[in-house]
Amino acid sequence: MKDKELTSVEDVDLNILGVLSKNSRENYNQIALKLEKSPVTIKKHVEELEKEGVIKGYGIDIDFEKLGYDIIATIEITVSKGKMIEVETDIAENPNVFGVYDITGDYDALVFARFKTRKELSEMVKKLHASPNVERTNTHLILNVIKEGSSFVKLLEKENKKK
């Protein structure tokens, strides 16, 4: 079930998210200086954003290709009726998988996964086909990554232009 949209997001919250989306290592004092607020105010807002689940965690941006994971595949899956959550949850446990989505159209689910070798990809697809609840799959290899990820800062800028 999709979480409800947070209704009481203040401008300071959006600005904090903008700063953290550029560099999640910024501390309260650094954010406060940039936003011309007190560190106590920043701390309060960050803690509220964490409590509400808007900030889910802090991380780094890894270049997987430099680590040898240069095969990216999308796998469309048709699932037996009533088994969608079970199949998707099982697939999501695979450490190669970085995205599992319910979709509309000819297929029920879309999976994004990274691999070091074609053999690893082949093994995953064969395992999917062996599942009694997977009716069919359609696999695509990504040839070039033009854009990956999204920028909250650019979304903010777009929203601010509308105002």
Q: CA nearest 15: which of 32, 38, 39, 40?
A: 32
Q: Residue 35 is part of a domain; what is its CATH number?
A: 1.10.10.10
Hey, how many other C-beta atoms are within 10 angstroms of the C-beta on 73?
20
- In the chain, how many domains are there? 2
C-alpha to C-alpha distance for 162 and 55, rounded to whole angstroms: 25
- From 151, 148, 152, 150, select the one nearest 69 (Cα to Cα): 148
pTM of the model: 0.81
Q: What is the CATH number of the domain that holds 97?
A: 3.30.70.920
CA 37 to chain centre: 30
Give the residue from 44, 60, 76 where a domain finishes: 60
Position 119 in a domain: yes
Residue 41 lies in domain: 11-60
How does pLDDT run along the chain (163 residues), one tens digit per residue?
345 555 567 889 999 999 999 899 999 999 999 999 999 999 999 999 999 999 999 988 899 999 999 999 999 999 999 999 999 999 999 999 999 999 999 999 999 999 999 999 999 999 999 999 999 999 999 999 999 888 888 888 888 787 6
87 and 45 both lie in a single domain = no
Q: Within a domain: residue 134?
A: yes
Task: Looking at the structure, tell me whether residues 134 and 108 fall in a common domain.
Answer: yes
